[in-house]
Amino acid sequence: MKKITKVSKLIPNLRKAKELSIKISNSTISKKAEVSNFLTDFADVLLFINNTIKETFSRNFEFREFLHQCYQIGNKTLPLISITGIIMGLVLTIQARPSLAKFGADAMLPGMVAVSLIREMGPVITALICAGKIGSGMGAELGSMKVTEQIEAMEVSATNPMRFLVVTRVLAATLMIPILILYADALGIFGSWAGANIKGDVTFTLFFSQAFSHIEFIDFLPAFVKSIFFGAVIGLVGCYKGYNAGRGTESVGKAANSAVVLGSLLVLVVDVIAVQITDML
């Protein structure tokens, strides 16, 4: 009888141990699956970038489609970038002017705003706006083409979809986003002049001469170089998410949403790396 009671007491403990081992094995399997999925996605991204670079330097470049994408990106984004650029300069001037006035440094306002816009605020904020506007558009457009099997139809008709759809959009974003950033910087300085005249009277010529007297080539070059990478990252992320969208209609929205989120995140990551490299030079 004593042996039977001992065995009966051990049975619940054995059940608990079995349940615990099952939970541990399930969690281990799920972690392995997550790591495997991450490595698979990472390999797909590298393969996608490799194919894009190969098709960029291949023959029969789709120049007409490239010009069309440049027009689409610039035309659709220009009004939003114009408003954003003016507001950046206006708000920065209104916020910084009281602080500078406490130290008697009102004359430094044009130079401070110009350097801030050109080095950091202009490129980053404009790139984030473009990630939301351009990246989501690319993801939704290519995702809808994936769902409606237009990409497969292009492959059947002997048209290279990577060259026609992806390369043209990535190169157009790489070219147009730096131009849009320069445009936003110029409008930001103009907005700063408008903000300076709210509670003062500064001539247009004097304000711009003071602004550009503080700008050096070392301020412009790193910002322009990293804006090129911003454009490439936004184009690659938008095209990758749309090109690899699922078959359902919900995947179009997911592709556009993930393109915006990942594109914005990578813009900030590239900016951090660029700042570190600039400080080391």
Is it the case that residue 12 has pLDDT exceeding 80?
A: no
- Structure-model confidence comparison of residues 278 and 41, the more confident one: 278
**What average pLDDT is seen over the chain?**
83
Q: Which two tokens stand for residue 281?
A: 């030079």
Per-residue pLDDT band for 3 (boundaries 50, 70, 90) equals: very low
Quote the CA–CA distance of 167 and 233 in Å, as a whole number.
13
**Measuring CA to CA, which residue among 11, 44, 19 is closest to residue 244?**
44
Q: Coil, strand, or helix at residue 243?
A: helix
**Measuring CA to CA, which residue among 277, 257, 281 is closest to residue 269?**
277
Q: Which two tokens stand for residue 231?
A: 């454009």
Is it the case that residue 204 has pLDDT exceeding 60?
A: yes
Residue with tokens 């790489």: 174
- Residue 43 neighbours by CB under 8 Å, 6+ apart: none
What's the mean pLDDT in 238-246? 88
Instruction: Indicate the burial class of 223 (C-beta count within 10 angstroms; 0-12, 13-18, 19 or more).
Output: buried
The ranges assigned to domains in the chain are: 56-280
What are 72-131's pLDDT values in tens digits?
A: 998 888 999 999 999 999 999 988 888 888 887 778 888 888 998 998 899 999 999 999
What's the mean pLDDT in 152-164? 83
Percent of the chain with pLDDT over 90: 32
Q: Which of 36-45, 134-143, 145-154, 244-253 has the lowest mean pLDDT?
A: 36-45
The distance from CA 30 to its chain's CA centroid, rounded to whole angstroms, is 30
Q: Where are the alpha helices (DSSP H) in 103-167?
A: 109-116, 122-130, 136-147, 150-156, 161
